[in-house]
Structure 1
Amino acid sequence: MDQIISFDKSLQNRLEEYNQVFSELGPLPYSKLQEEWAYYLELTLDPNGWQALWKIPRLKCEELHIPFPSVVLIYVLNVIYKDLAALVRILAVQDDIHLPEKHYVPLSQLWPTRDQDKSIALNMNSTANALDMLRFFYIHLVMPWDEDDDSIDWKGSQLINRLRLHYDLKNGKIPKATAEHIHALLNEARRLNGKRHNLKSICQDLDSDIEINDGFPNKQVELLVEINVRLIEIQNEMHILENDMFRNVIIKRENAFMKTVEKTKDDPSIWLIFKEGITKEYIRFLEIVEGLYPNKSVTFAKDFMSKLESANVNDIILLSECQHKIHSNGAILEDFTIKGVGNRDSVQILSLADDVALDCVGDYLLIENVTIDCRKSQCAIVIRKGCVTLRNCKVIGNETSSTCQGILILGGAKVDLTNCEISGFSMGIVSNTGSSINISDCIIHNSGFGLKLYDNCQIFLKNTQIKNCKEYGIVIETDQTYPSDLIIGDFNILKMISHINYESIKGDNNNKGDVKIRKNSLRAKEDLFDNPDLDPTILESSDDEMETNLNGTVFEVPKVESN
């Protein structure tokens, strides 16, 4: 968003800033970090009076029963430095949502706006820079296991190594495979750490007289131990990867392996995934495969997930009619083909991932003739780059969730959907600025919004139905100004938007309308005290409505993109 104050800093800039924050001589353990931050922010962060965008994290959106992502404009009433939080009042919301008037919000979730009320004397460059430092620190440099060991000097042993790792990832110095593995480890660790904190609270309330089975008094205790073991495993691996010398050895080894693979690899490999069955079922499966690839060599693979982790460029993975599972940390996909053999509804990919089921990072990917069940995931498919093609696929989400997303296309990426069915998501498809979508002969239904489109995403719709949406079939987020009578209506409104083209699109039973054009309303107010409706010092709601639990909010970890 162009209205927020943002920064692009080098490793050296970051290091110098953090040396200012942690200027205390002697060892600095993890438990002292927040206290040092509080001291620093008292000197650099305005205590109140400034406006910011609050990017509400997914878990908070779920708790408030609002769509994700949700961004609101807030006014800071008071900064609570020791908690690294602020008491805020909501000034404006972008979506049709209803929220309590006041909230306690972690400072890291606030993004100061460039424009402010001109009657208030503020040092916004200092405030925005301090928040940028804080946010970067807790998102990219603090690890889940740091809190487990308070005996080490955190600054001396972790700061520079983790800064170097982050910038090596960002600048593309680490090979793609190793970088993706690091991202996967960190995302898994943070997800497990969130579960660990919840389980600790549950286990503390357990009755000590509970009968012990298999060495554990309760399933939650057993799960907590399993999570701790896995976190230790990730910590040990990351300890090696954070070290410059160790990381270089791993990179050299991987580069040598990739050169060997490139020399020995000719045609793409065709992998068959058939879990179990009687002889006739095997024969039928192989007969269909023979019809698809009559003169090609094929190989049976152990299972779907292990093959995803080891697939090479241009490989083809053929799935039989059964349920193929994606593990809890999701799957990273790039540059190969996944194809179901048989009936689409019978070839099922079941995601057990809490966050993203399929994370597409390659130049191309083809998924064909499968049902992707993502009812346990927060997002079915993220397309970060390249082109992803889905043919004759069904993508299913959790209809009860207010935050579950279907297909998310980032800027610069492209998706082609043909003869697909998407249902059960808060937002079926989200297309960001600079992305491209082709949708033909598809059905999008039983979602909150069918499609959410941002300015300058190129979209073509043909022979497509969008129906039974709880909100709108299509919502368009824009900074452009359109006549007021075009804000809500049928699909003819789309003719007014240059980056959207369509042929034969139908809507039915979309609760609030087929199309809504929603102009960005999150602009800083320059006359707060002239308008009683905007005056942040006038609070009409009771304190009982105020959200006061900071433990329910987590830091979300964005992926570090390599150049």
Structure 2
Amino acid sequence: MPSVYTFTHSHNDILNALVEVFSIGRGTMREQWTTQAEILVEPVGWDALWKLSKRFCKKFEARFPCIALITVTSVDYEELTADVDVLSVQHESVSLPERVTDVPFIELWPTVKQREEFVNAEGTAEFIDLMRFYYENLWMPWDDQDNKVILSKTVEDRMSLWLELHNGSIPNSVARSIIMLRNSAINAHEKLRELDSSLCEGGMADEDDSLLPSNYISQCAEMNANLDSLIPKWSLYEDPLVREHYLALARTKWQENKSKRNVVALWQGGSMKEFTNISNFLKSKVSNEQNLMIMVSAEEGLSLEPEEVIVCSSNYEVPEMPLLRISLCSFNGATLKATEMRSCLLMMSEECKIQDLILNCARVNTIIVMRAGSLHVKNCKFSDDSENCQSDFAQGIVAMSEAKIIVEDCTFENFYSGLVVHEGAQVELRNCAIKRCGVGIQMYSGSHVKLDGTVISSCTEQSIRCELSANVDYKGAGMDGLEVASNCKIGAGNLQQEVLVVKQDSDML
């Protein structure tokens, strides 16, 4: 994939640019962006990488995330969208239509190299980059309401909140509540869009209300009521004066809660016999120094920042939230799944443990992303049981640059990459099995992988793939960071054939 334009601006520069957008007139939010787009966005002929949204991935039955190279054939300034021709797709197994309409600008990244000589791709890219920042970080669904005017003061207040969320001024528990509140509003808005889209596809958008599906009006009323209920809650955080008073109270409560060693047991209910068995298990598991809470909602339980979570039902859906300093385990085995389509099941950092769980990849691209710190995984099964043939670029564990991971007695099955180990990361596998993957282990220059008692079998592309940095002469080179004990079986057994060393593709986005 070709390189794209990227921009590095200070927070103050971004704020000044946004204030300028919303200071031109007193139109609606979309009208303000449209005015700027008509000046700065090329009308036709520019090439870009398209990062498909979850909505398009669902529509085309492609796993999220998915990237395609496209060329823009026309733009709709009022809707801030483009019609595109698809030139190629990053993953060969994914099939997209040759022509796609109504692709939002914010899903497009103009490429540095353009086929049309006189296209101002850089100006287009910088405008879209600013608009993307607003929609990804500051936009709220009620901004789209008819006759709703967004003032520059509102943008300043939201930017202030965004900065506080990212600089540590707000306690983690409160920050997660704010993020979840925004996500809830966006999810309600998306469900409303899906309902409207289903009507349009059924040709009923202009029909009389009496002809609408029986549950349509009730579902719309429920989603709108949900959105309306979130507005006053959001106002507590958006107004800086109210926020400071609220945070002062929250910090006090957080300090009190921090001193407790919380253990959360997640259970959806069941028979008295099951309750008795779970109670006996928890008695043996939880110490007198710990504070036990039994909860139904995984979202509410995780928001308490417990030191340990015990999953007591056979299946549980977990929300999208970063996890740190936490231990996850189960009573009698349990399967964890994502609540909806997203990039990863568990985003973890600092010191974490996972034990006795089945981690399912059905709605995500990656099961665990370990950003930094230590992770110990024991007796877990990583599986992708998706029947969609386009799902074969899923990943089990991704270890980022500062991660140290030990994996014991675990199975990885049916992934494109079982494990991905980036530069600076350390991964040790003990008595593990990796089977029926495209690539068993994908590792990069500067990473370290140690295998002990581990079997890698039935990989369709390569058992182990090592990518060296672009500036390294890889001809005849080995991978210094790879240690394989004699009690391992890698593919057919010939390590030289089972380990492929290649040069890293520096042009990938």
**TM (normalized to structure 1)?**
0.72
The one-letter code of the counterpart of 1:372 is L
Deviation at 1:171, TM superposition (A): 2.7
Kept in 1: contact 2:399–2:422 (CA 8 A): yes
Which of 305, 308, 311 lines up with 2:301 in the alignment? 308
Kindly tell me: are residues 12 and 293 of structure 1, through their superposed partners in 2, closer, same or farther at Cα, counting changes over 3 Å? closer
In the other structure, the counterpart of 2:255 is 259
Deviation at 1:392, TM superposition (A): 0.6
Kept in 2: contact 1:386–1:412 (CA 8 A): yes
In the other structure, the counterpart of 1:29 is 28
Kindly tell me: are residues 73 and 483 of structure 1, through their superposed partners in 2, closer, same or farther at Cα, counting changes over 3 Å? farther
Report matched runs for 1:137-286 at 5 Å: 137-147=134-144, 149-156=145-152, 158-203=154-199, 205=202, 218-219=214-215, 221-262=217-258, 264-265=259-260, 268-270=261-263, 272=265, 275-279=269-273, 285=278
Distance 1:432 1:66 in 2: 25
Kindly tell me: are residues 335 and 113 of structure 1, through their superposed partners in 2, closer, same or farther at Cα, counting changes over 3 Å? same
Report matched runs for 1:306-345 at 5 Å: 308-309=301-302, 311-312=304-305, 315-320=307-312, 322-326=313-317, 329-330=319-320, 332-342=322-332, 344=333
- State the identity %: 23
Distance 2:226 2:236 in 1: 16
Greater share of residues in strand: 2
Deviation at 1:23, TM superposition (A): 4.8
Kindly tell me: are residues 317 and 101 of structure 1, through their superposed partners in 2, closer, same or farther at Cα, counting changes over 3 Å? closer
Secondary structure, counterpart of 1:407 in structure 2: strand
Which of 373, 382, 387 lines up with 1:386 in the alignment? 373
The one-letter code of the counterpart of 2:109 is W
Distance 1:87 1:209 in 2: 31
Secondary structure, counterpart of 1:154 in structure 2: coil
Deviation at 1:463, TM superposition (A): 2.9
Q: Deviations over 1:354-387 (max 9, x none)?
A: 3367444452221211223453455533434433
Report matched runs for 1:337-416 at 5 Å: 337-342=327-332, 344=333, 347-355=334-342, 358-377=345-364, 379-401=366-388, 402-403=390-391, 405-416=395-406
In the other structure, the counterpart of 1:110 is 108
Secondary structure, counterpart of 1:497 in structure 2: coil
Kept in 2: contact 1:330–1:356 (CA 8 A): no
Deviation at 1:310, TM superposition (A): 5.1
Larger relative contact order (CA 8 Å, sep ≥ 6): 1
Length, aligned pairs only: 494
Distance 1:306 1:47 in 2: 44
Kindly tell me: are residues 433 and 188 of structure 1, through their superposed partners in 2, closer, same or farther at Cα, counting changes over 3 Å? farther
Deviation at 1:441, TM superposition (A): 2.0
Which of 484, 490, 500 lines up with 1:506 in the alignment? 490
**TM (normalized to structure 2)?**
0.78
In the other structure, the counterpart of 2:14 is 14
Deviation at 1:133, TM superposition (A): 1.5
Distance 1:59 1:16 in 2: 32
Deviation at 1:517, TM superposition (A): 5.6
The one-letter code of the counterpart of 1:195 is K
Secondary structure, counterpart of 2:6 in structure 1: coil
Distance 1:414 1:431 in 2: 10
Distance 2:335 2:449 in 1: 28
Deviation at 1:398, TM superposition (A): 3.9
Deviation at 1:473, TM superposition (A): 4.6
Distance 2:265 2:162 in 1: 38
Kept in 2: contact 1:380–1:406 (CA 8 A): yes
Deviation at 1:391, TM superposition (A): 0.8
Deviation at 1:252, TM superposition (A): 1.0
Kept in 1: contact 2:266–2:298 (CA 8 A): no
